[in-house]
Amino acid sequence: MLENIKKAPYATALIVLGTVVLAFVPMFVSGYIMSVFILLFANVALATAWSFFSGATRYISLATAAFFGIGIYVLAVAHVYVPIPIALAAAAGIGFLVALVIGLSTLRLRGVYFVVFTFGLTELIHQVLNWWEIKINRTVSRYIFTDISNVSIYETLLAITVVTIVGSWFVSRSRLGFALRAIGEDETVARHAGINTTLVKVICFALSASVMALVGAVLALRYPYIDASIAFNNTWSFQVLIAALLGGPGRVWGPMIGAVPLVLLSEFLAGSFPHHFSIALGLCFVVIVYFLPGGITRLVLRLYHSWHAQYMRKEAH
Amino acid sequence: MEPLLSVNKLRKAFGGLVAVRDVSFEIPQGSIMGLIGPNGSGKTTVLNLITAELSADSGSVTFQGKEILGLQSYQVCRSKIARTFQLVRVLPHMTTRENVMLGRMFGSDPTTPTEAEHEADVLLKRVGMAGRADLFASQLTYIDQKRIELARALATRPQLLLLDEWLAGLNPTELRIGIDLISQIRREGITIVMIEHVMEAIRALCDRCVVLNAGEKIAEGTAQSVLSDPEVMHAYLGVDDAAA
């Protein structure tokens, strides 16, 4: 761990400084700005968690909304009976366990089959929960009453986001991260080189899902009222995927770089053109696929490399 | 002496097609065995069954006295059996060095990335790839990709190395280098099974050959003896041409 910090002193300093500055932001800004930050943190954490698994292994998951929704529901049910921190931990834990079971049964699917399955899974959980609530619990929705302040939500999400990014960074430089990348490159080779690919995939899928569930649970503290359609909204799955692709899923910083402009854009659109958000999201997707296949990070790296090469040539003369 | 690997009545069918029909053979420690036969005779399927890429319908495979059928591919690798692939497989967006590190970090004797990096460079030099360690595998020529496949397999520290047409597509100079490399690997005590069509290499390297045709073993013996076996000639050339 210390070795990694020594190897990347600037990144470490940037994280520490950024975290400290952001931690004090609520003292100086309005409630609206704070809620924009909350949305930013949530998206960055989700996109980073998504990319941690899907970016490295190229198992493109559309189940973000499923785990996010599970987090929301666990909190909505649990906050009545237990203190909030325990409800949050339960959300992360249940997200982890559900992903473990799903992972074991489905991570043998590859490519488009996995994508379609994860999309269907979200819908399945959504509908089953809806049926359960109506038939068994005789309700369509739940209320969430807490006295948690927006500042607490802000700080909690900031902490989750920082831990997710730093954790994902450490893993990317570890043996586990290497194994994940190898699986993404060629799973057959990885398997025949001694990697227990099933174990690696399932564990990382579950870790990623537990972050998604936790983020859902924290955001739920802001919702006075939830139902299955709010919790399991597929827009989350797509927005997170697009944010990660826009930034560049191959690097730890990529999803963050993609999520920030996307959230700001969606905030702007939601205010000024509430009905055009999906169109903008769709356009973003088209632009990324056609012009930015490696995301912003790869574009910047390529520009840097060509500038660097030119600079070296000039130096040589 | 007990053979390093023994394959017993191994069988695999794909629907109604029996790709491998009750094939048995043994590989003594330290030898090179050629697995030969016409296209579609089941050679690669045998390799895939041994390394658990496919699951066998029946039969047994014992390695160092232990049954390995039923293990998963990663466990087969960790029990010291490494392989290369007929259609070369590399990790395209990782560097040559990282491709080899993979084997060392997760193979039969896993180690830290730092140590793996060092040893990867040594192995790359051995297969003639020194100086190309930082290139991405996708930037390499076909031949060089084959070299890093071999280095990756060796990095897992195998006792048994399975080569699936590793010498195919090499020019005469490269072929000589390749043959030298394989015999050098054998001298280090690694037992080798090679699927091969290059007769020159088979004659130069193989102590024994097993010949498959349509999933069945039709001959076994020294390279000289099986290649002059009439039934083997029939299998390769067809009855009429073999008679001529």
Report domain extents, chain A.
Answer: 18-316
Which residue of B lies nearest to A3 if distances are taken between CA atoms?
B114
* Closest residue to B105, CB basis, from A178, A186, A191: A178
Which letter does DSSP use for residue B15 in this model? T
The residue among B54, B105, B117, B134 with the most chain A CBs within 10 A of its CB, best to mutate, is B105
- pLDDT tens-digit readout, B117-133: 999 999 999 998 988 99
Give the domain A18-316 fold. Answer: ABC transporter involved in vitamin B12 uptake, BtuC (1.10.3470)
- Judging contacts by C-beta atoms under 8 Å, the chain A residues touching residue B101 are 178
pLDDT at position B241: 64
> What fold, for B5-80+158-243?
Rossmann fold (3.40.50)
Predicted local confidence at residue A168, as pLDDT = 95
- Spatial strand order of the sheet with B17-27 comes to B17-27, B5-14, B58-63, B66-67
User: What phi, psi does B170 have (nearest 5°)?
Assistant: -85, 150
* Shortest Cα distance, chain A CAs vs residue B107, angstroms: 5
pLDDT at A1: 52
Span B172-199, average pLDDT: 93
Encode pLDDT of B47-104 as tens digits.
999 999 999 999 999 999 999 999 999 999 999 999 999 999 999 999 999 999 999 9
pLDDT on residue A274:
75
CA B183 to chain centre: 14
Mean pLDDT over the full length of chain B: 92
Is-contact A295 A254, C-beta < 8 A?
yes
How far apart CA A18 and CA A103 sit, in angstroms, is: 35
Across B160-186, average pLDDT: 93
State residue B230's pLDDT score. 87
Hey, are the CB atoms on A191 and B90 less than 8 Å from each other? no
Helix (H) or strand (E) holding B62: strand B58-63
Q: Are strands B208-213 and B32-36 parallel, antiparallel or unpaired?
A: parallel
Domain ranges of chain B: 5-80+158-243, 90-157
Of A250-254, A276-280, B3-7, B191-195, which range is least confident? Answer: A276-280
CB A189 within 8 A of CB B74: no
DSSP state of B107: S
Query: What pLDDT score was predicted for residue A80?
Result: 92
Q: Which residue of chain B is at minimal alpha-carbon distance from A180?
A: B102
Q: Which chain A residue has the Cα nearest residue B105?
A: A175
Chain B residues near residue A190 by CB distance under 8 angstroms = 102, 106
> Residues of chain A whose pLDDT is less than 50?
none
Q: Do B102 and A191 touch (CB under 8 A)?
A: no
The phi-psi region of residue B9 (left if phi > 0; otherwise alpha if psi is between -120 and 50; otherwise beta) is left
DSSP SS3 for A248: coil
For the stretch A240-274, what's the b/e string if a residue is b when 16 or more beta carbons lie within 10 angstroms of its beta carbon? Answer: bbbbbbbbbbbbbbbbbbbbbebbeebbebeeeee
**Residue B243 predicted with pLDDT over 70:** no
Beta bridge partners of B216: B213
By C-alpha distance, the chain B residue nearest A56 is B93
Confidence band (pLDDT; 50, 70, 90) for B240? low
CA distance A207 to A189: 24
pLDDT at position A2: 58
Helix (H, G, I), strand (E, B) or coil at B217: strand
Give the pLDDT confidence score for residue A5 in this predicted structure. 65
Instruction: Scan for tokens 């802001």, then name that residue.
Output: A222
Q: CB of A107 within 8 A of CB of A250?
A: no
A173, A56 in Cβ contact below 8 A?
no
The shortest C-alpha distance from A37 to chain B (Å) reads: 35
Q: Are A197 and B74 inside 8 Å of each other by CB? A: yes
Model confidence, pTM: 0.89
| Among candidates B90, B106, B152 on the partner chain, residue whose Cβ is nearest the Cβ of A179 | B106
> In chain A, how many H helices and how many E strands?
16, 2
